[in-house]
Each structure stands twice: as structure tokens, then as C-alpha cells.
Structure 1
Amino acid sequence: MAARRPHTSSSAVTFAELGVPDALVRALAGRGVTSPFPIQAATLPDALAGRDVLGRGRTGSGKTYAFALPLLARLAASGTPRRPGRPRALVLAPTRELATQIEESIAPLAAALSLRTLTVFGGTAPGPQIKNLRAGVDILVACPGRLADHMEGGHASLDAVEITVLDEADHMADLGFLPVVRRLLDRTPKRGQRLLFSATLDAGVDVLVKRYLNNPVTHSVDSVAAPVEVPHHMLQIDDRDRLAVLVDLASAPGRTLVFARTKRRAKTLTRQLVAAGVPATELHGNLAQNARTRNLQAYATGDVTTLVATDIAARGIHVDDVALVVHADPPAEHKAYLHRSGRTARAGATGTVVTLMTDDQVAAVRSLARQAGIAPTITRLRPGHQLLGQIAPGPRTLVDPPAPAPAGGDRPAGRDRTAGGDRTGGGGRSRRGRGRASAGMPATEARQVSSREPGTGRGGRGRTAAPSSATPRTSGAAAFSAGSRVGTGRGRAR
């Protein structure tokens, strides 16, 4: 049975006191990281001592550094030279976005120790990955499917792996990756250290723990079963008002993350928000990898302020300072609700969660709230209700949709030809819907919301949308980036 250790308060210790080597402490300080989060304070002593560790905690609890620091410390101490196609450490992640963000967190620290990192995942050409594998890497961050392909092609071997990390193990199980994960782990040395991080131990994760971890020490911090400590609002609306309410919330200052049930729905909502004047972009599985990367980067840097996503964004993307999570379509079950909602109030920040529900969805959403362990504020409202200004405070600002490309001109920058059709690129650049009424709510109506119902809602608070003359009629991310910085305070993330 896995041993359990008492948790040390993160406020009482430093990284150095936890045993992190001086070189890494300095590298962390250079990035402004000086105090460990609870999951880090709990797991680092055992992980740095070489123990197998099972860490349980929801996303956003600081797990990346919890496994990255012992991984880097072990490789730096062992001094084993890197060899072609034989990584010294392996981090498995369920999604491309998570793999990319893990590598981005590790790479600066690895560089301080003269260690080389590489990320491999599907959706991109394998050639550059194969070339970099042959050049030799110390730390390989990979999605299971593409790594298995490289191994079958003879381009990678795991027999030199000294430490293996499984991040978001339960999400890998949900996505059906456990068979390939087991095949990969079977190829790593049994004597190697293994760290597994998961929000839950269901969906087959417990099988991995029993089969691959040797007498692990278990630490549980911020379990996904615990209520998300942020305000939760469930707004009962007419379906015809859904877009108007969404535009009101998304046009307030700060980053907004909107969740849709399907890929098609995410694409449609993005077009409608863009046509209404909200700088928005989309993230879902139908986008090619370059479009996914571009759109997420536009959101992370503040070039767009609203990301409309499927549950691909509920786990494994880390964007700081998401002020508002909106379930435009309620999720099917409570775990998805908690994971989606966990995109806000991360790393000690504050945030708010809103669910939009129609009359026929009320019973299911109430049941979902009970299972999630939350007590939401439930309000029936129409567009312009004063509660919207309390949920998402601040002046509402809308920008002109991107102008159509001139006749005979270049193809609009947002058109992603690699994914078979129009895609809303960074900055919400969509060829469809430019300057036209959006489905369910014309752009002109979205701009008029702020002036109706005097004394209540947006009009009563004097929250008028920015006049169209405030934003240059340019296309793509440039227009939205400029518009979001004109008197709104919604510019780039600080």
C-alpha cells in the first residue's frame, strides 16, 4: 500500500529548504518563482529523494514544477551523456497543448543546466522530430501516440530513461490512451523513478499505479472532487437570449473562456461573437495543429480576449488570469464541469464561473451542481440585467469585425487551408460573417444592448460599447489587438 506523508505548508518553506539544488533555485527566481505551491511542497522532498510519487490534485495546482524540478535535479546529478534517439527522461501528456506548455515550463530551467528538451506529438510533420531525436535529447515530452510511432519506426528507444512522468493520467485514460501508455512504460527500465500525477484514480489509473509505481508515496492536494472555490452563477435564460448574454459577459475587461459542447458549436459561437464585436478565437479538435497553436497563443498574449473551446481546453491548457469561465453549453457530467471551471482562479488568482441554461436544462444542471459539490447562485434573467455587470464588472467594449478582403486581393489571413475550410484564426479572423448579421443576433443588436433598459443592465450603468470609429477597420488579430487596447485595459497579459 502506498505510504502517505503529512503535507508541509508552502508558506513555511522555500525551494532550497525542500532540497531543490541551488542552480534550479536561481533559475526559478529568475522567472519570478520564489515560493512553492502546496502540491510542490508536499511532493518535492520525496521526489528529490528518488521515491516514486503519486500526486493527486486538480489542474492549476502547480504540478508541472512538482515533477519538473526533481526530474531536472536527477539528470543534472547523474551526468549521463545524451545519446541519439535515447532520451534520459520521459514526460507523457494527453494533449498537444499540455505537452507544449510542459516543455515551455521546463525548457528555461533545463537550459540553465545545459540540458536539452524536445516535444513530440501528432498533427505535425514527423521529420523535424526525428531529426531532433537523432541529435540526442535529455528530456522528451510526448503524447503517447506519436511517441509509439517513432519507436515503431526505430527512431526512439526508452531503454535509457532514468525518470518517467505521467501527467494528467486520468485524462489519458478518458481519451483511451492507457493501452499505448502501458506499452511505452513496459519499455522503460524497471529501476527508473516514476512520478504519476492525476486528479482521480478511476478510469484505470489505479492499474497503472499498481503495475508501474514501486511503493509510491501518495500526496493529495486540491482533489478534483473538492468544490472549486470561486463564485458559481447559473443563469436561466431563453435560448434566443443566449448570444446577447454571452456578448455582454465576454465584452467586459479580462480574459473569458467559453465552453461549447461540440466542435461545430464552438466554431459557430466564435463567428457570432466576432460578428458582434468581441475579439474571439476558437480551439477544438477540427483545427490543424498550426491553427490550434496560433489561436491559443493569440489568447495567451491578449491579442484576443475570448477563447471558445470544446472540452479540449478543459484539461491541459494553462493560461494565466482567466477572469471568467462561461459554460455556454452545460457539460454532460460533473467532472467535466469541475475541470472546465478549474481554468479560472488558478495559482491563487480569483475568477468567476457562469453556466447558461434554458428551461429544459435546469433539472440536469441542478443535478450536475449537486454532484460537483457546489452551491451556485441561480438567476433567471434577460439581456441587460444588472447581475451581468456584477458577475463581469467593468466597461463593455466592442470592436469592428474584421473588414472583408478587397476583391481580387489576398486570401484572408484567418483562413486555415490545412484543416479543410474556414477556421477562425488568431484574433477571430473568419472569412464568414464579416460585416454581416450573425446567426441569432445581428452585430447591430449586440451594440444596442448597452443602451436599452435605462436604469438597469449595461445601459443603466453607462457601459456603452466603444464606437466603431475607435477601432481601425483592419483585418485579423491586428484589428482586435488594437481594439482591445483602446481605452479598455484588456490588452496583453501582465
Structure 2
Amino acid sequence: MSTFADPSTFPSVFDAPATFADLGLPAPLVRELDREGITTPFEIQAATVPDALAGRDVLGRGQTGSGKTLAFGLPLLTRLSQGERARSRHPRALILVPTRELAMQVADALRPLGRAVGVFLTTAVGGVPYDRQIDSLRRGVEIMVATPGRLKDLIERGSCSLDDIAITVLDEADQMADMGFLPEVTELLDKTPKVGQRMLFSATLDGDVDALVKRFMTDPVTHSTAPPVATVTTMDHHLLLIPPHDKLAVTAAIAARDGRTIMFARTQMGVDRLVGQLAAVGVRAGALHGGKTQRARTRTLAEFREGRVNVLVATDVAARGIHVDGVSLVVHIDPPKDSKDYLHRAGRTARAGESGAVATLVLPKQRKSTLAMLQRAGVDPAQTRVRPGDAALAELTGAREPSGVPVVDEPTPPPAKRVPPRPHGHRPPRAPHHGAPRRRGDHEGFRGKDRSGRG
């Protein structure tokens, strides 16, 4: 017997819903969405939610920032919350994503909605202690948001099983293919029941994901709300032609602008070097790349999202994983290697109907190849020659002269040394007499087998 509500009770895609209630979502979900200021479905949500609620396999393509997370998250939460509840402590739904940042943001978006309908989720990502994730699984969760590598590790440790998965979602599937995750994704999908529902969402649905679609999806319905070219009318594209010796000064002036800015560099070393160079001229920036610990990456994203830092410098690892509203400018410090990377980077701005601009810094020798790449991306940028201090640079990007006062981060104070509590009735040992053999543990002030004072 199915553990989900009868799909026939959900509306048809042709009903043209104007609100989330019209889509057939339960009242608690609609109320929570309204509380968060989300009242009208985006195009991808209105198109895909009815089919997903009906239990169909779904292929969804939409430009980044178009609302794909709720497009799969809302029907997933609805189906899990209605009908007979499974008694298993294993997860019943799996959301696979390519990066830790994206996993955290998907979980942050769905967690309050899940609480509204009594559905609980956890994450399984690298860079986080295993114990915390294993403990969540032991307590029982219904949704697992995971990166392929960490989920595979948990399964091999015997801490997680996919035997009860009824709904599987692949988010940013083409990026998983680009990052070489297809073998792991295939192995994980093979561990889920063949009768389960599967949804695949991505900015593009090209040949890279055909193998997954053909092997794991059954008669999927496809909803495409945007072609894989830059068609966002609220996004301006600029090619800034600069002399090599002016690149740093132009970059620093742009970074000193008002507003939230993301800058993309090609390498981790390039990111760290640029953050240091900006700090030297008075611009505080955060660095985000795969070489950072998860704690550092989470802290940097939080500072950027909360406005404590207005500039984020990142590698392409963050091109799909950063979903922060209010980014008004994306700057390609190093032109991306192909059109797909350009679109993914550019998609950090002009999200959800907001306006934004994309600027690419181009040296003379890069101009021809960059223009060819932009043509493949469907972008016809305005080309402008700029130098530091030019009025055109300020007009196009909001650039201004940095303060020149170096940014000095206050050192983080070391954590206070924790003194273990002394057991009741315990008295410290006397110092050994000269020449007497020292007892094990005496030099630590404890007589027991460990250093905690517990004996």
C-alpha cells in the first residue's frame, strides 16, 4: 500500500494556479510560505509542482535563481507529510547536490517548511564530523540532503540505508556530471528502489545527463522555463578592456563599490592572493573555495549573506552553490573557460526578478577568445576600454577609490582552557618524594586512567 496521498486529488498543470494554495499544497505549507513572504509561484514551480505532486518523474530546467529548490521541495514535503507514515528510521527522500554550500542552502530553505508539516531533514556533506550526521540518522529523519561522496561514505560505514527511499531528487545534475560525480551518483541511485519517484533539476539538460535520465527515469515529463543562454532581461553584460598593469587597480576600485559583489577567479591561489591584495588597499573581502574548511566556508557565506562583508571572491566551486539575494554585480576577474561556466557565474545576480550586472575583465590577448565564448552563451556585451579612475568605470560598475587603509582582522582569542571537574571527594595527589617512583598520572594531577578526572 502506498504511503502517500492519492495523486488524483492534486490539480492538473492546466489549471494555471495563481497561488500556492491553487497548486494543491497543504495549508500549513502555504502559511509558512506566506510568513516568509513567498506568495506567488515562480514559473518553474507552477509548471512542475502539479506533476511532482502526482508522483510523476520530472525533468525541470530553469535559469539559476528561478526557484528550483521549492519546485522540488514543496511537492516532496507534501507527499511525505500526507498519507500513511512509514515506521522505518531510514530516510524516505534523498536530495543529491554537487556541493556542500548548495546542500546547506537547500536544507536551510526546506527545514522551516518541513517543520510546518512535521517532516524532518538532515544533511550529509564533507567537512563536517561524521558523528553528528550519524546521530541524526539514528534519531530518524525523513529527508537526506547529501553530496555524493559523504553519502557513499555513510553507507559504507553501515550508518545509512537507501532501501526506503521513495523520492529522489538530483539538483544541479549537469554540474554533478561536470565535476565527475556520475559514477558515484549512478552507484547511489542503484541502491534506491526502482519504483521510486525521481526528479532531476538543472540549469541545463544536455547530453551530460542523458545517461542518468535513460537509466533511472520512467516516462519523465519535461518542463523548461529557460534556454541555456543568457536571456535574463534584468541583467546587463559588460566587457571591460584593460591594460595588464591596471588590472589590480581596476579590480580594487570595483570591489570598493557600494552593494553586494561576487568576484570569480580561476584558482584557489588566485582567490587567496586577491583577497590579500584587496585587504592591503582597504577592501574587506571573503574567500570561498574548495581548499577552505567547511567551518570557514560556512562562516564566510554567513558574513556575506548578512552584509558584514560586501565582497566575496570565489572559484567556480561556488558558481552554483551560492544562492544569495541582492547580489548586484558579478565580476569575472579571470574569464571563465566556457559559456556554461559564464552563465553559472552570471546567475548569481539578477535573481528572482531583481536587476544586476555582469562585468568581465579582459586583457588584450584574451579579447578574441572571450568574445567567442560569450557568443556561445548568447551574450552580446557592451565593450568599454577603462582605466583606474575613469568615469565610465564608475558609471558601469559603481567603482570608487579604495580607502587605502589596510584591513586588519582582529585575531580570534584562543578558547579558554577547560579544566575538568574534580570528582566529589577527590583530593589531588601529594608530590612524590625525591627518589620515589612516580605513579602514572601524577604529573597531570590525577590518579585515574584518563586525564578527565573521572577515574
Aligning the two structures, in what range does the TM-score lie when normalised by the shorter sequence? 0.7 to 0.9
User: Could you say if the C-alpha distance between residues 414 and 34 of structure 1 is closer, same or farther in structure 2, counting changes exceeding 3 Å?
Assistant: farther
Task: Say if 2:58 is the partner of 1:53.
Answer: yes
Question: Which amino acid in 2 is paired with 1:156?
Answer: C
The 1:268–1:7 alpha-carbon spacing in structure 2 relative to 1, beyond 3 Å, is farther
Aligned to 2:169: 165
Match of 1:71 among 71, 76, 80: 76
Check whether the contact 2:386–2:393 (CA below 8 A) recurs between aligned residues.
no
TM-superposition CA deviations, 1:243-290 (whole Å, max 9, x none): 111122121111010000111001101111111111201001111111
Structure 2 residue corresponding to 1:297, chosen from 271, 295, 302: 302
1:237 alignment partner in structure 2 = 242
- Which residue number corresponds to residue 340 of structure 2? 335
Partner amino acid, structure 2, of 1:50: G
What is the correspondence of 1:214-363 to structure 2 with a 5 Å cutoff?
214-229=218-233, 230-363=235-368
Deviations 1:268-313 (A, max 9, x none): 0111111111120100111111111111111111100000000011
Residue 136 (structure 2) pairs with residue 122 (structure 1):
no
- Measured in 1, the distance between the counterparts of 2:14 and 2:63 equals 18
Deviation at 1:242?
1.0
Q: Distance in 2 between matches of 1:375 and 1:210?
A: 35
Identity %: 53
Shift of 1:52: 0.9
Q: Deviations over 1:22-71 (max 9, x none)?
A: 12111110111000111001101111111111001222110000000000
CA contact (8 A) 2:91 2:140 kept: yes
C-alpha separation between the residues in 1 aligned to 2:413 and 2:366? 35
Match of 1:387 in 2: 392
Contact preservation (8 Å) 2:253, 2:402: no
Whether contact under 8 Å (2:319, 2:345) holds in the other structure is yes
Q: In structure 2, what residue type is equivalent to 1:291?
A: A
Aligned to 1:41: 46
Q: Is the 8 A contact 1:322 1:344 kept in 2?
A: yes
Match of 1:193 among 191, 197, 204: 197
Measure how far apart 1:224 and its partner are: 2.6
Q: Distance in 1 between matches of 2:220 and 2:85?
A: 25
- Asked whether the equivalents of residues 228 and 342 of structure 1 are also in contact (C-alpha less than 8 Å), the reply is no
TM value normalised by structure 1: 0.78
SS at match of 2:351: coil
User: Structure 1 residues 305, 184: CA separation in 2 closer, same or farther (over 3 Å shift)?
Assistant: same
Q: Would the aligned equivalents of 1:9 and 1:41 in 2 still touch at CA under 8 Å?
A: no
Structure 1 pair 253/7, CA: closer, same or farther in 2 (3 Å)?
farther
Pair 64,404 (structure 1): closer, same or farther in 2 beyond 3 Å: closer
Larger C-alpha radius of gyration, 1 or 2? 2
1:372 corresponding residue in structure 2? 377
Q: CA deviation at 1:129?
A: 0.7
Q: CA deviation at 1:187?
A: 1.2
Contact 2:114–2:120 (CA<8 Å) still a contact in 1?
yes
1:433 paired residue number:
none
Q: CA deviation at 1:366?
A: 1.1
| Aligned partner of residue 134 in structure 1, secondary structure | helix
The alpha-carbon deviation at position 404 of structure 1 amounts to 7.2
Q: Unpaired runs of 5+ in structure 1?
A: 1-5, 406-411, 416-494
Q: 2:177 aligns to what SS in structure 1?
A: helix
1:216 Cα deviation from its structure 2 partner: 0.8
2:412 corresponds to 1:413: yes
Instruction: Pick closer, same or farther for the CA change 1:390–1:9 going to 2, 3 Å.
Output: farther
For residues 274 and 394 of structure 2, what CA distance do their matches in structure 1 show? Answer: 21
Q: Partner amino acid for 2:128?
A: T
Residue 216 of structure 1 aligns to which amino acid in structure 2?
P
Would the aligned equivalents of 1:8 and 1:38 in 2 still touch at CA under 8 Å?
A: no
Deviation at 1:8, TM superposition (A): 6.9
Give the SS at the match of 1:137. Answer: coil
TM-score norm. by structure 2 comes to 0.85
What is the CA–CA distance in structure 2 between the aligned matches of 1:341 and 1:132, rounded to whole Å? 36
The residue type paired with residue 329 of structure 1 is: D
AA matched with 1:413:
T
Distance 2:402 2:334 in 1: 24
Alpha-carbon distance change, 69 to 281 in structure 1, aligned in 2, over 3 angstroms: same
Mapped contact 1:52–1:216 kept (Cα < 8 A): yes
The answer to whether the 8 A contact 1:120-1:141 is kept is yes
| Contact preservation (8 Å) 1:258, 1:328 | yes
CA–CA distance in structure 1, aligned partners of residues 60 and 272 of structure 2: 36
3-state DSSP of counterpart to 1:18? coil
In structure 1, distance between residues paired with 2:304 and 2:87: 36
TM superposition shift of 1:375: 0.9
Instruction: Tell me: CA distance 1:312–1:414, structure 2 relative to 1, closer, same or farther (3 Å).
Output: farther
Question: Per the alignment, in what secondary structure is the counterpart of residue 208 of structure 1?
Answer: helix
3-state SS in 2 of match to 1:122:
coil
Alpha-carbon distance, 1:225 to partner: 2.6
SS in 2 for 1:282: strand
- 1:482-493 correspondence to structure 2 within 5 Å: none
Q: Does 1:22 align with 2:27?
A: yes
Change (3 A) 1:302 1:399: farther
> Residues 295, 9 of structure 1: CA spacing in aligned structure 2 closer, same or farther, 3 A cutoff?
farther
CA distance in 1, matches of 2:357, 2:136: 42
Q: In the alignment, is the contact (CA less than 8 A) between 1:89 and 1:138 conserved in 2?
A: yes
Q: Residue 72 of structure 1: CA displacement? A: 0.3
SS state of the match for residue 231, structure 1? strand
Q: 2:107 aligns with which of 103, 110, 115?
A: 103
Q: Return closer, same or farther for 1:79/1:413 CA change in 2, 3 Å cut-off.
A: farther
Range that drifts further, 197-206 or 42-51 = 197-206
1:140 aligns to what? 144
Deviates more, 1:193-202 or 1:27-36: 193-202
SS at match of 1:141: strand
Residue in 2 that maps onto 1:152: 156
Q: Distance in 2 between matches of 1:78 and 1:238?
A: 64
